[in-house]
């Protein structure tokens, strides 16, 4: 889901997986198709335009039916654009076989790095933007920042949480990259520490993104 340019789809195909790669943006779908073709994995990857909210229509699109998939991956904030995560619980559960794993990478609401960066730069509204009720309007999309607990509750009882880990809790955010690159050794240490402690509370709750791994019951 929300495959973007198709990088993950190509990587999974090279590992031997068969992939249905979807994105709501027509431009991303075309870019992903071209990347799949260049990588020579067309026989393993099908690229389809599809929004999270239309997940229940996979059967009518000629895709495999109920319980057909071994797993789902949503990378880097695709679910932040969904108005109600609870609304996708039933269609998501329907396409996954029991025991399948859902890997959901979501932007969280509490990011101390973001608070510090924007406060230092005199931008308090941006520092605490993720805490605004109802989320943010970005271009034509409304971005929401659900907590780990709210996503777990929205997807129960069809799924149970296996693990949650931090992505960007100790490491600085991408927009601070130019400054951070001046201290490469510190970045290496932060990366090592984050990978070592990524699942240790409270890091997942204070990260730019958190990776929630769930099992289909």
pLDDT, one tens digit per residue, over 72-99 is: 999 989 999 999 999 999 999 999 999 9
How is residue 179 written in tokens? 């400054």
> How many CB atoms lie under 10 A from the CB of residue 77?
17
* Residue 60 pLDDT class (50, 70, 90 cuts): low
- Dump the DSSP string for 105-169: EEE-S--HHHHHHHHHTT-HHHHTGGGSTT-EEETTEEE----HHHHHHHHTTTEEEEEEEEESS
Of 22-26, 109-113, 114-118, 182-186, which gets the smallest average pLDDT? 182-186
Instruction: State mean pLDDT over 150-158.
Output: 97
| Domain ranges (residues) in the chain | 51-216
Distances (CA, A) of 151 to 29, 67, 83: 27, 22, 12
- In 3D space, the residue among 160, 132, 147, 155 whose CA is nearest the CA of residue 85 turns out to be 155
Query: 74 near 47, Cβ under 8 Å?
Result: no
The model's pLDDT over 196-215, given as tens digits with 9 standing for 90+, comes to: 999 999 999 999 999 999 99
- Domain 51-216 CATH superfamily: Vaccinia Virus protein VP39 (3.40.50.150)
> How many CB atoms lie under 10 A from the CB of residue 71?
14
Distance between CA atoms of residues 99 and 217, nearest Å: 6
Query: 59 near 83, Cβ under 8 Å?
Result: no
- In 3D space, the residue among 79, 49, 209 whose CA is nearest the CA of residue 143 turns out to be 79
DSSP-derived 3-state class of residue 65 = coil
Of 3-17, 57-71, 113-127, 152-166, which gets the smallest average pLDDT? 57-71
User: How confident is the model at residue 64, as a pLDDT?
Assistant: 58
User: How confident is the model at residue 66, as a pLDDT?
Assistant: 65
Pairing of strands 159-167, 136-138: unpaired
Helix or strand holding residue 47 (H, E) = strand 45-49
For 22, list phi and psi in degrees, rounded to 5: -130, 150
| Mean residue pLDDT across the chain | 93
């Amino acid at each position: 889901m929300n495959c973007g340019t198709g990088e993950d789809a190509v990587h999974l195909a090279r590992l031997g997986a068969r992939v249905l790669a979807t994105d709501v943006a027509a431009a991303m779908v075309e870019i992903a198709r071209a990347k799949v073709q260049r990588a020579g994995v067309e026989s393993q990857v099908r690229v389809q335009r599809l929004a999270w909210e239309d997940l229940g229509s996979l059967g009518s699109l000629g895709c495999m039916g109920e319980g057909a998939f071994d797993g789902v991956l949503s990378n880097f904030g695709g679910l932040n654009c969904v108005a109600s995560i609870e609304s996708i619980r039933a269609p998501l559960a329907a396409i996954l076989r029991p025991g399948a794993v859902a890997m959901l990478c979501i932007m969280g609401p509490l990011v101390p790095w973001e608070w510090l960066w924007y406060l230092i730069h005199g931008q308090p509204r941006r520092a605490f933007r993720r805490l605004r009720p109802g989320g943010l309007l970005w271009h034509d999309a409304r971005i929401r920042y659900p907590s780990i607990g709210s996503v777990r509750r929205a997807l129960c009882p069809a799924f149970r949480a296996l693990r949650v880990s931090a992505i960007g809790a100790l490491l600085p955010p991408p927009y601070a990259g130019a400054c951070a690159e001046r201290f490469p050794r510190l970045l290496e240490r932060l990366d090592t520490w984050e990978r070592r402690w990524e699942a240790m509370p409270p890091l997942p709750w204070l990260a730019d993104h958190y990776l929630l791994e769930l099992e289909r019951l």
